[in-house]
Amino acid sequence: MSCDTIVAISTPRAIGAIAIVRVSGKDALGIAKKLTKKTNIKARYATLSKLYDQSGAMLDEAIVIYFKQPNSYTGEDIVEFQCHGGLVVANMVLDTILKYNISLSSPGEFSKRAYLNGKMDLSQVEAVSNIIQAQSKNAAKMLSRQIDGELTTFVDDVKKQLVEILSFVEVNIDYADELIDDKSLKSINIKLKSLQISLKKLLQNSLYKDGLIHGFAITIIGKPNVGKSSFLNSLLNDKAAIVSHSAGTTRDTITKTIKIGDNIVYISDTAGLRQTNNDIEKQGIEISMQTAKKGDIIVAMFDNSKQFDKDDERVLDFVNSLDKIVINIVNKNDLKNMFDKKRLDSHINLIAKENINIFFEKLETILNNSFDTSQMSLVSNRQISAVQDCLNSINSCDDLLKTSQLELFSFEINQALSFISKITKLYKYDEMLDVMFSKFCLGK
């Protein structure tokens, strides 16, 4: 890793009260002294000081804070200049610092240095990245616990148990003529079963991590003219989607954002599902189905005033083929009932323009009850892959232990250790690190 001193604006480039310019590296304190014209800056004290450019012209009056290594975010010397906000002042301070041959930080470089200097592990780094993007209070709370080391503690405990199992088995490999006694076998099996339960529970609770962090994706599905667009407009209290009595009016997917309780929800109105010879409508239907497959929750809508037909059956079959949470809505309940509601396992009766709160209450209940944010969760696909691979290796051990294939058993436990360790520390450094940290924002 380069030992260059780096600088970045760590706050959004927008109008605001304060902008922070952050410098990290061996020259950080020297830069602070040059900009403030002070010979001494006390560590961990907020100092009000005028800032000057190389010509001596005043740039701003700012709060300057010096964090002496190793007691800083990156583990290096850090100086923060808390300037007046806006689009100009922070850039002037940044430009002045760059003229002293300081390098402009790449995205995520501050956190990368924190990781490489042992200030946090990879699970904490990923939590930092995600908490910046969190779209709900529950996500922020969950990610705060991971920054505090919740997942690190779990990984350490799994590794400890695997090492205990491995050490016992490898001793027995050296004495291959002696069978492992029943008491020891039972102890190992109990530990393996406990690990399997813990890992499965963690994976199950991580299914909706993207929804918790970035917002839940909800897709409205139904045949044409069941009231999907009117329903979306009612949710938004706005005319976001075109409404017409002509079937097939909606051909493009329309996605809008609403807040349900403490959760951000992205809700998409889609083209009606039906048999058609129109090429453009076919493309819209294909997009509808792909949107539903990628979403977290499906709203399947049916028309109370129409008999259940092949298009409704097509919708129901498609929805049931997806491993998703489904809310069935029978719309237009102000009209004469013609729809066979027994076709649905459960449903909400709705008049889209009147009793929309019934849907809001149902959805909020699902979001609150289905996703237990008090439980630990994985926050990246990388973490999920590592836990799943670890679990697969442990699952492979069951038969190997029963048949006393201790060498293969030991190999699988070693594999499990390798996989679970990836959550907190990578084996392949440079290439993986560059990909991971490139997703961060500047100054972080």
Residue 30: Cβ-neighbour burial (10 angstroms; 0-12, 13-18, 19+) = middle
Half-sphere exposure of 80 (CA within 13 A, CB side): 20
Q: Are residues 101 and 155 in the same domain?
A: no
Q: List, in order, residues 6 or more apart from 1 with CB less than 8 Å away.
A: 112, 113, 116
Phi-psi region of 61 (alpha: psi -120 to 50; beta: other; left: phi over 0): beta
Q: Are residues 282 and 181 in the same domain?
A: no
Looking at residue 123, its amino acid is: S
> How long a stretch of residues is the chain?
444
Other CB atoms within 10 Å distance of the CB of residue 77: 24
Instruction: Tell me the β-bridge partners of 297.
Output: 218, 325
Question: What pLDDT does 431 receive?
Answer: 44
- Tell me whether residue 130 is in a domain: no
Q: Are residues 340 and 285 in the same domain?
A: yes
Residue pointed to by tokens 């020891």: 184
Of 322, 324, 439, which is closest to residue 382 (Cα–Cα)? 439
pTM assigned to the model: 0.74
Q: Are residues 316 and 364 in the same domain?
A: yes
Question: What pLDDT does 253 receive?
Answer: 76
Q: Are residues 283 and 384 in the same domain?
A: no
- Tell me whether residue 126 is in a domain: no
Q: Are residues 48 and 154 in the same domain?
A: no
| Distance in angstroms (rounded) separating the CA atoms of residues 239 and 232 | 8
Instruction: Tell me the β-bridge partners of 259.
Output: 264
**Residue 314 sits in a domain of what CATH number?**
3.40.50.300
**Residue 403 sits in a domain of what CATH number?**
1.20.120.430
Write out residues in the chain with pLDDT < 50, as ranges. 1, 239-251, 427-429, 431-432
Q: Are residues 73 and 114 in the same domain?
A: yes
Number of domains in the chain: 3
Half-sphere exposure of 150 (CA within 13 A, CB side): 16
Domain residues for the domain of 62 are 6-119
Question: What pLDDT does 149 receive?
Answer: 94
Q: Are residues 342 and 215 in the same domain?
A: yes
- Tell me whether residue 332 is in a domain: yes
- Tell me whether residue 125 is in a domain: no
**Residue 104 sits in a domain of what CATH number?**
3.30.1360.120
Q: How far is CA 94 from CA 43, 50, 131, 217, 423, in A?
A: 22, 15, 26, 39, 35
Question: What pLDDT does 13 receive?
Answer: 84
Phi-psi region of 80 (alpha: psi -120 to 50; beta: other; left: phi over 0): beta
Q: Are residues 341 and 220 in the same domain?
A: yes
- Tell me whether residue 1 is in a domain: no
Q: Are residues 218 and 336 in the same domain?
A: yes
Question: What pLDDT does 174 receive?
Answer: 58
